[in-house]
Amino acid sequence: MKKAAFAVIAAVVAVTFALPAFSQDSNLSPQPKLYEFSGKVTAVDAAAKTMAVDNGYKEVRTFTIADDFWWLMVKKDTKLADQIAYIKVGDMVTCKYTTKGDKFICHRCGPLRRGPSP
């Protein structure tokens, strides 16, 4: 009896681990990794869809604003131009971005979150 129960459990485990190998979704490409960069906005160019952010440690990154960009303080379906208009020079922001070659592509951005003061 114990051997039969063990055989059934072993078969179920084997099938469970074997099914993903036969999945038809195995050809899907993985999502690109999102990186994070925080600092003060030093420039915004709505026409070129770019913004520069200085992290305060002598590093300034110029981000290209992606077509799927979302300024986290507005509804997600707000027009891209209106979202860019919310970003002001001097704002402290955190940007979520991907890289493409040597370019930084910003997908999400919002006000810098700070933890509670000690």
Is residue 5, in this structure, part of any structural domain at all? no
Q: What is the pLDDT of residues 69-91, one digit of tens each?
A: 998 888 888 898 889 998 999 99
Is residue 24, in this structure, part of any structural domain at all? no
Q: Where do we find the tokens 């960009």?
A: 69
The tally of domains found in the chain comes to: 1
Contact assessment for residue 37 and residue 95, using Cβ atoms and an 8 Å cutoff: yes
Q: How many CB atoms lie within 10 A of CB 68?
A: 10
H or E segment at 106? strand 103-111
Closest residue by Cα to residue 94 from 118, 66, 73, 117? 73
Is residue 99, in this structure, part of any structural domain at all? yes
Q: What is the mean pLDDT of the chain?
A: 81
Is residue 22, in this structure, part of any structural domain at all? no
Q: What is the pLDDT of residues 22-41, one digit of tens each?
A: 555 555 667 788 999 999 99
CATH code at position 88: 2.40.50.320
Boundaries of domain holding 80? 35-111
Is residue 117, in this structure, part of any structural domain at all? no
Is residue 80, in this structure, part of any structural domain at all? yes
Give pTM, 2 decimals: 0.68
Distance, CA of 32 to CA of 40 (rounded, Å): 25
Is residue 44, in this structure, part of any structural domain at all? yes
pLDDT band at 116 (very low <50, low <70, confident <90, very high): very low
Is residue 84, in this structure, part of any structural domain at all? yes
Contact assessment for residue 41 and residue 91, using Cβ atoms and an 8 Å cutoff: yes
Coil, helix or strand for 70?
strand
